[in-house]
Structure 1
Amino acid sequence: MELVNFDMNLLTALDALLSEESVSRAAERLRVGQPAMSATLARLRASLGDPLLVRSGRGLQRTAFAESLREPLTAILGDVEQLIQSGAAFDPTTSKRSFTILASDYVALVLLRPLIERLGAIAPNVSVRVTPVDASLMESIRRGLVDVAIYPSELLPTDVPFRTQPLFDDDFVCVTDKANEMVGDVFTVEQLSSLPYLAASQGLLASLADQRLDEAHLARNTTMIAQSFVMAPFMLPGTKMYTILQRRLASLLMAEAHFKMLEPPVPIAAIHELMLWSPRRGADAGHAWLREQLQESARRLG
Structure 2
Amino acid sequence: MHVDLNLLTALDALIEERSVSAAAARLHLTQPAMSRTLGRIRDATGDPILVRTGRTMALTPRALALRQEVHAIVQRAHVVLAPEGELDLATLDRTFTIRFHDALTTALGTRLLLAVQEQAPQVKLRLLPEPTGDTDDLRHGRVDLEIGSAEPALPEIRGELIGQDHLIVAVRRDHPLARGRLTAKRYAQALHVIVSRRGRLRDPIDDALEAVGLRRRVVASAPTSAAAIHFASESDLVVALPARVCGPTLRALGLGALPLPLDVPELRIVQLWHQRYESDKAHAWLRGHTREIILQAISRGET
- TM class by shorter chain equals 0.5 to 0.7
More relative contact order, 1 or 2 (CA 8 Å, 6+ apart):
1
Q: Give the ranges of 4+ consecutive aligned residues of structure 1 lying more than 4 Å apart after TM superposition.
A: 83-86, 135-138
The corresponding residue for 2:167 is: 172
Cα 1:237/1:254, change in 2 over 3 Å: closer
Matched, 1:239 2:231: no
Separation in 2 of the partners of 1:3 and 1:180? 76
The corresponding residue for 1:200 is: 195
Separation in 1 of the partners of 2:83 and 2:176? 60
Specify which of 240, 245, 252 is matched with residue 249 of structure 1. 245
The corresponding residue for 1:212 is: 204
SS at match of 2:131: coil
Give runs of aligned pairs for residues 175-194 of structure 1, distance below 5 A: 175-194=170-189
The corresponding residue for 1:148 is: 145
Separation in 2 of the partners of 1:86 and 1:112? 33
Cα 1:233/1:260, change in 2 over 3 Å: same
Question: Taking every aligned residue pair, what percent have the same amino acid on both sides?
Answer: 20
Separation in 2 of the partners of 1:104 and 1:300? 18
SS at match of 1:128: strand
Separation in 1 of the partners of 2:82 and 2:184? 54
CA apart distance, 1:104: 1.4
SS at match of 1:199: strand
Q: Paired residues, what number?
A: 218
SS at match of 1:102: strand
Q: Any unmatched runs of 5+ in structure 2?
A: 4-79
Q: Deviations over 1:58-93 (max 9, x none)?
A: xxxxxxxxxxxxxxxxxxxxxxxxx69973542222
Q: Is the 8 A contact 1:173 1:262 kept in 2?
A: yes
Separation in 2 of the partners of 1:236 and 1:84? 57
CA apart distance, 1:265: 1.0
Q: Which structure has the larger Rg?
A: 2
The residue type paired with residue 288 of structure 2 is: E
Provide TM-score, normalisation by structure 2. Answer: 0.65
The residue type paired with residue 276 of structure 1 is: L
Cα 1:185/1:109, change in 2 over 3 Å: farther
SS at match of 2:136: helix
Cα 1:136/1:277, change in 2 over 3 Å: farther
SS at match of 1:139: coil
CA apart distance, 1:283: 2.5
Q: Is the 8 A contact 1:166 1:274 kept in 2?
A: yes
Matched, 1:265 2:257: no
Specify which of 138, 162, 165 is matched with residue 157 of structure 2. 162
Q: Is the 8 A contact 2:103 2:246 kept in 1?
A: no
